[in-house]
Each structure stands twice: as C-alpha cells, then as structure tokens.
Structure 1
Amino acid sequence: MRVVIAEDQGMLRGALAQLLEMEADIEVTGEALDGHEALDLVIRQKPDLLIADIEMPGMSGLDVAEQLKKQQESCKVVIVTTFARPGYLERAMKAGVSGYILKDEPIDQLIAHLRRIMEGSSYISPELAKTLFFSSENPLSGREVGVLREAKAGRDTRQISERLHLSRGTVRNYLSTAIQKLDVRTRQEAVQKATNKGWI
C-alpha cells in the first residue's frame, strides 16, 4: 500500500509516517504540509491512498478530495479530523472519500481501517456519522458558499467580485442572502456560523 500523508502539523505528520512505515505492507511515498502540495504529490506519484487532514493552508483536505474526484484520479482518500462538523462530512461523502476518521483513534485501529479501505470497504468514525444524522441541512446555495469562502479568506467585495467574475452588486446580494439565511447580522458572523457548521 503506497501512501501520501497531508498534514500541516509537522510533528504529527512525522509521527504518523514513522508508525505507518513500521508496517510491512505500507510504504509512505510522500509527505505534504498543505493541500496544494498534497494534490501535486498524488498526481505525480499515483499512490494507492491519501491520508489528509481537513484544516490545511491553501487547500483543505476536502478541497483536495474534490479535485481528485474531478480529475478522476484512482487514489483513495481518507480524511482524518478533530472536527465533528456535519457539513464537512457531507462534502466528504460527495467527494467520494473512502474514510472519515477521528484523529484520536488508536493507530492500530487506523491501520486496520486503511487495510479494509484498500480492499474496497469504507469507514466513518461513529461519532462523526452521528453529527450528520442530527444535523440541519445547509441552506446556502453554491454561489453563497463560494462568496463566504472568499470572505473567510479576508477578501473584500471588490476582490471577491474579481475572483468569482461577478459584479460587486451581485456579490453584495449573495452576502446579504447568506446573512439572512443564517440568521446573523454581519458577514463576519455569517462566515463564523457557516464555518462552525462545516458548510464552507
């Protein structure tokens, strides 16, 4: 099993790589500290499996999974996370990830899950699956999600309009409807609430 690990915390990434390398049937072929590097490694190395954190600079693990699905890469993706956010799990399922696992699972269990995933199974930590079962549905449209993601990155209305090729008035409208749907008062509150729910 050839594996790439994407994790922005160096100590955690190194420790996981060492533990996986101790297994006779696992080879860690690359380590990435952000989503862009992870995507590049997977496209170049064609590993069997990518283990990716969600929260990484530039591109999240979910962004990488979505790109790999779009590019029809055969690499299986396992997301490891500390965040039990229903929107994240929803995105992960749509991106076709094979595993969605809590970081605090024991390493022997993680390795067992990886082996089963390579045999064609999939696995979601029960605590994470529970959050989706009891979650509310994302009320935001795709455009509203895109605008809020840009706002989350600190971009103002002009910058958002340029990046998304929309007029400033249209951007303001999307922000306004997102604020109304999320029942908050400001774009900052909208970004915060949508982030906490895992919708952006």
Structure 2
Amino acid sequence: MIRLVIADDQALVRGALAALLGLESDIEVVAEVGRGDEVSAAVVLNKADVALLDVEMPGLDGIAAAARLRTDAPDCRVLMVTTFGRPGYLRRAMQAGAGGFVVKDTPARQLADAVRKVAAGLRVVDPALAVESMTSGDSPLTERETEVLRAAGDGGTVADIAAATFLSEGTVRNYLSSGMGKTGARTRAEAVHIAEENGWLL
C-alpha cells in the first residue's frame, strides 16, 4: 500500500484528487493539507511514501516544500502537480528532489500510475513539458532582477518596488531595464509576464 499525502491550497481540487486516488486499491490517502509549510509535518506524522504537491501554495510553495522534505523525510518521494505547465517550474522541482511533474488535467488513471512510478523510485514527467523545458533553457535573470520583477508583478510604482526590495529607485530602474532586455520585453508588465510564463519568478 502506497501511503500518500496530498497538498493543494484549493479544497475542491484537493478533495477531488483524494477521492480519485483513494479509489485505487494500492493507494491510501493518509493526509490532506492546504499549505506548503504543513507538508513536512503531515508526511512525517503519517509515514507517507509519496507527497503529491501543488506548485503554488501559501506558506511555502511546492518546490520549497519538496526541498524541505529531502531533509525532514528523505525516504518520501515527491510528485509535483500543477495547473501551470511552466518549464522553469519543472527544472526547479527536479533540482529540489521531485521524482515527477504532471499537470492537473492528467487523466486519473495516469495520475495514479504516476504515483506508483514515483513510489518505485522512477521519474515521471509530462512529455510536452519535458520537451518545452529542454528548449527554453535556464533563467537568464540574476537573483536581483528576479526579485525586482517579482515585486513589479504586484503592479506598484518604482517607489513601491524600491521599498519592497530595499533598493534605491535608480537601482530598481536599472534592474527593470536589464530584466526587460533579457526577456525581450517592451514593457515592465510584459517582462513580468514572460518571466512568469517561463517559471523564472517562483
């Protein structure tokens, strides 16, 4: 029996995943959590074999939660599941120790099969996402450019971004400009959109 913890901040999705996977004769859903910072405790407490983690969650995103599990519960395998099939997410999830990465519209039978494969120590990656990941390359943004573009995603002024990142307004303008140049964007909003689509801002 594969002991499974499901982590997703949307209760409806979490419940649906638990119901579908709970129908499998060899999978037992032992816990459901809605925040990334609750994953480790749930896995340890329930001696889970696999953690099914959403990428975007409050408290701690799924990729950071996967990285924490490597320390807190190294025997637990991780399968990431997301609505957003962004290649940057895939690379970072694998670097964090995830054994698999699938999108939420994966058919139930394939998802259950992915859980089994990850539990057995195999890698499972959505094929379309794998191809996209290989062709898109790593993020061209520096850590500071990433931080500034992430702050710019909230739609604030340069002064707001400067306050949020503890940088001067001139420095923020420089980072925004270099970030736009590296993403090939004409505007700040477009640069944020491109970086988000590639999974560079998580």
**AA paired with 2:50?**
L
With 58-67 and 7-16 compared, the bigger mean Cα shift is at: 58-67
1:134 alignment partner, SS class: helix
Seq. identity, %: 45
Give the alignment's TM-score, normalised by structure 1. Answer: 0.81
**AA paired with 1:147?**
V
Give the whole-Å Cα distance in 1 for the aligned partners of 2:126 and 2:160.
Answer: 39
**Residues 40-119 of structure 1 mapped to structure 2, 5 A cutoff:** 40-42=41-43, 45-69=46-70, 71=71, 73-74=73-74, 75-119=76-120
Structure 2 segments unaligned to the other structure (5+ residues): none
Pair 27,127 (structure 1): closer, same or farther in 2 beyond 3 Å: same
Give the alignment's TM-score, normalised by structure 2. Answer: 0.81
Stretches of 4+ aligned residues off by more than 4 angstroms: 43-46, 153-169
Contact 1:84 1:131 in 2 (8 A): no
Pair 186,43 (structure 1): closer, same or farther in 2 beyond 3 Å: farther
**AA paired with 1:18?**
A
Deviation at 1:18, TM superposition (A): 1.8
Pair 161,28 (structure 1): closer, same or farther in 2 beyond 3 Å: farther
Pair 72,143 (structure 1): closer, same or farther in 2 beyond 3 Å: farther
With 163-172 and 87-96 compared, the bigger mean Cα shift is at: 163-172
Pair 50,155 (structure 1): closer, same or farther in 2 beyond 3 Å: farther
The CA RMSD over aligned residues, in Å, is 2.7
Give the whole-Å Cα distance in 1 for the aligned partners of 2:166 and 2:116.
Answer: 44
Structure 1 segments unaligned to the other structure (5+ residues): none
**AA paired with 2:18?**
A
